[in-house]
């Protein structure tokens, strides 16, 4: 090869090498989508670095500042989360999500005064018709902290939530951010205002009527099928009648037992357990049990001192009716000996009582229902077969057919 051919080949090689090296070291610009994907893959450190790169190019993007704050919170870097959340507030002070992020950012940073100020602002926004996002929200995250390999998230609700009127809920997540435990706390005023008006003297004496409920929930997977166990306990403080006291007073006076004559300010406790297990997609089983000592009257529900139930639910997708649900269940309810003696002596409660109960027995119920969606509505047909209704073996069996139409607005 001629000397000039060798020079030309060498120059061409080095030019190609330099171009390849330049291509290899030229970084691609970071994107929000990359950061969100990293968060979803439980890589908060990488996600934070990605959002920081995006903010170098556009520091005034509200969403990216919020994402960066969220990634910092996943790393429990409270002050850094505050930095990005406050920047987002400066850019968009009316953004509901900014204030919800600031609450937990201040909490993790240990700034209790600023956290509580944001909480108060959130409550005002929730009641403001001009803030529809805030009004539609049930609550917000108020704190988060690590315990060993778990992350604890504390949630506050604006109004009592669900059948147990939950005010606070603690979500316990594993390292994959999957919720494995739930602890709920409730304080229900039990129509406190109306009770105060009807019992002025008791209020003056310091009595209150309320209920506290606590719930612990564990989520798990069994043979790759999701399941859940929940245990709920409650304490009721109210003026309640004692069955034994009512029977004793009636024996002295020769009258029919009357709970209203023996009501005192007292405590009633109870506990329930609930198990739910999916067997396969569209097929689930459940079992429930509950107990209360049974010396005191029921306040707002039918008379049950101990109960056990089990059943199954089947999705309509199994027979080509996606959205439909078929349910089957069996229930056994019982009442305490004191409760039985009160009813046997002729006493009445808010919902049951035949004037006598010579042959008490457990109440047994077999129930079947079918639920059909109708646009935003739910129509349910229900059938119950009841043996020993109201714990009276001399009554029944009875059949109850009903329909319910449910809608949410």
Q: Is residue 359 a part of any domain in this protein?
A: yes
Would you say residue 24 lies in a domain?
no
* 129 within domain boundaries: no
Residue 104 DSSP label: H
| Structural domain contains residue 324 | yes
d(CA 45, CA 63) in angstroms, rounded, equals 18
Q: How many whole angstroms separate alpha carbon 265 and alpha carbon 263? A: 7
pLDDT digit string, tens, across residues 122-134: 888 887 777 777 6
Domain count, the chain: 1
For each of the chain's 409 residues, which pLDDT tens digit applies? 444 444 444 444 445 544 454 444 556 788 899 999 998 888 899 999 999 999 999 999 999 999 999 999 988 898 999 999 999 999 998 888 888 899 999 988 888 888 889 888 888 888 777 777 766 777 888 788 787 788 888 888 877 666 555 677 788 888 777 777 777 766 555 445 555 666 677 667 666 666 777 788 888 888 889 999 989 888 887 888 999 999 999 999 999 999 989 988 888 889 999 999 999 999 999 999 999 999 999 876 789 999 999 999 999 999 989 889 999 999 999 999 999 999 999 999 988 888 898 999 999 999 999 999 988 899 999 999 999 999 999 998 999 999 999 887 6
In a domain, 170, yes or no: no
> Per residue in 60-96, is it b (16+ CB within 10 Å) or e — as a string?
ebbebbbbbbbbbbbeebbebbbbbbbbbbebbeebb
| Long-range contacts, 244-250 (Cβ 8 Å, 24+) | 244/295, 244/338, 244/341, 244/342, 246/342, 246/347, 247/338, 247/341, 247/342, 247/345, 247/347, 250/345, 250/347
Short-list 70, 43, 68, 42, CA closest to 56: 68
Domain hosting 298: range is 274-409
Q: Supply the pTM of this predicted model.
A: 0.62
Q: Is residue 286 part of a domain?
A: yes
The reply to whether 290 falls in a domain is yes
In a domain, 356, yes or no: yes
């Amino acid at each position: 090869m001629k000397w000039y051919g060798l020079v030309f080949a060498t120059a061409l090689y080095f030019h190609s090498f330099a171009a390849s090296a330049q291509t290899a070291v030229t970084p691609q610009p970071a994107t929000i989508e990359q950061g969100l994907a990293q968060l979803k893959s439980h890589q908060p450190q990488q996600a934070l670095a990605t959002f920081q790169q995006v903010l170098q190019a556009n520091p005034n993007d509200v969403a990216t500042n919020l994402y960066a704050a969220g990634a910092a919170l996943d790393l429990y870097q409270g002050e850094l989360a505050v930095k990005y959340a406050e920047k987002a507030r400066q850019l968009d002070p009316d953004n509901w999500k900014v204030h919800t992020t600031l609450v937990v950012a201040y909490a993790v940073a240990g700034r209790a005064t600023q956290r509580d100020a944001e909480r108060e602002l959130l409550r005002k926004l929730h009641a403001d018709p001009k803030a529809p996002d805030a009004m539609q929200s049930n609550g917000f995250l108020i704190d988060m902290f690590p315990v060993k390999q778990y992350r604890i998230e504390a949630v506050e609700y604006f109004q009592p939530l669900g059948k147990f009127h939950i005010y606070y809920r603690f979500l316990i997540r594993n390292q994959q951010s999957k919720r494995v435990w739930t602890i709920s706390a409730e304080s229900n005023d039990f129509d406190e205002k109306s009770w105060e008006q009807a019992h002025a003297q008791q209020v003056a004496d310091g009595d209150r009527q309320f209920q506290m409920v606590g719930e612990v929930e564990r989520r798990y997977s069994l043979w790759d099928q999701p399941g859940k166990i929940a245990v709920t306990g409650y304490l009721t403080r109210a003026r309640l009648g004692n069955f034994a006291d009512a029977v004793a007073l009636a024996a002295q006076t020769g009258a029919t037992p009357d709970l209203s004559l023996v009501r005192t300010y007292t405590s009633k406790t109870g506990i329930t357990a609930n198990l739910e297990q999916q067997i396969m997609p569209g097929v689930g089983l459940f079992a429930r049990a509950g107990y209360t000592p049974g010396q005191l009257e029921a306040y707002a529900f039918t008379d049950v001192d101990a109960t056990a139930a089990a059943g199954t639910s089947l999705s309509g997708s199994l027979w080509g009716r996606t959205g439909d649900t078929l349910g089957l269940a069996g229930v056994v309810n019982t009442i305490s000996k004191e409760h039985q003696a009160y009813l046997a002596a002729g006493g009445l409660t808010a919902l049951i009582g035949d004037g006598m109960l010579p042959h008490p027995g457990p109440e047994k119920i077999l129930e079947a229902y079918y639920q059909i969606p109708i646009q935003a509505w739910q129509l349910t047909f229900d059938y119950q077969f009841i043996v020993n209704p109201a714990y009276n073996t001399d009554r029944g069996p009875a059949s109850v057919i009903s329909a319910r139409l449910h809608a949410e607005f």
